Amino acid sequence: MLLFAAAALALASVAATRGHLSRLLGLRIRASWLLVLAFALQFLAMVVFPHADRALLATMHIASYGIVGFVVVANRQVRGLPTIGFGGLLNASAITANGGTMPASAEAMGMSGLTATSGSFENSAVLADPNLPFLGDVFAVPASWPLSNVFSMGDVLIVVGAAVLLHFASGTRVARARWVVGLCRWC
């Protein structure tokens, strides 16, 4: 939910910087239908069947990142997608190294006010002995704020990449600035 809220803010920033959201309709993403498949896999694993076989759900979760990675590589020329892809790679690395679950720090979970749901597959959870814990959900939006949650450095990069993509695809004043074009040459 936090990523969607950040994407909504990025969309609002496009409008505020005189971008043309209609240009997003002209953005051509090869194999974009695979993104629907990837999101469907995550939705099924997290929402529809969270009590199904854990190994199957972990496989679905990890596979969704592989599918998105394929789409990112196929469209790496689109500004913002390499940054989104790197963020996704960081998340996928932590999730894969931990059997399909993103490791979360107990401190971040406590600060956000989130609690574990016993017996169901979780996207993010405090693990007893996590691998790559620094890539996990170590940051938190406090419980007293709207949309309190935990997030990772990969999530931050995904949001930054999405903002770059939206601004460049929409032709905002920010994206046309010479220093931004130079800075975002590889993002």
**77-87 pLDDT, tens digit each:** 999 999 999 99
- Confidence at residue 81, expressed as pLDDT on a 0 to 100 scale: 95
Q: Judge contact between 136 and 106, C-beta under 8 A.
A: no
- Confidence at residue 7, expressed as pLDDT on a 0 to 100 scale: 79
- Can you tell me which residue has the tokens 């450095």? 153
CA distance 104 to 161: 23
**pLDDT exceeds 90 at position 8:** no
Over residues 97-132, the pLDDT tens digits come to 999 999 999 999 999 988 866 667 788 899 999 999
**What are the residue ranges spanned by the domains of the chain?**
2-12+32-183
- Residue 179 token pair: 């220093």
User: In the beta sheet, which residues pair with residue 137?
Assistant: 104
The terminus-to-terminus CA distance of the chain in angstroms comes to: 24
**pLDDT exceeds 90 at position 186:** no
How buried is residue 182: exposed, middle or buried, by Cβ count under 10 Å (0-12/13-18/19+)? exposed
Q: In 39-87, where do the E strands start and end?
A: none
Q: At residue 101, what are phi and psi to the nearest 5 degrees?
A: -120, 135
| Mean of per-residue pLDDT scores for the chain | 90
CA distance 13 to 15: 5
Specify the amino acid at residue 67.
Answer: I
Q: Judge contact between 173 and 17, C-beta under 8 A.
A: yes
- Can you tell me which residue has the tokens 């969309």? 11
Over residues 137-146, the pLDDT tens digits come to 999 999 998 8
The percent of residues above 70 in pLDDT, for the chain, comes to 94
Name the more confident of 82 and 10: 82
CA distance 150 to 85: 20
- Confidence at residue 2, expressed as pLDDT on a 0 to 100 scale: 73
- Confidence at residue 100, expressed as pLDDT on a 0 to 100 scale: 92
**pLDDT exceeds 90 at position 50:** no
Lowest average pLDDT, out of 39-53, 58-72, 173-187, goes to 173-187
> Residue 1 — pLDDT band, cuts 50, 70, 90?
low
Enter the pTM of the model: 0.89
Between strands 102-103 and 124-125, the pairing is parallel
Could you give the angle at which helices 54-74 and 81-97 cross, rounded to 10 degrees? 160
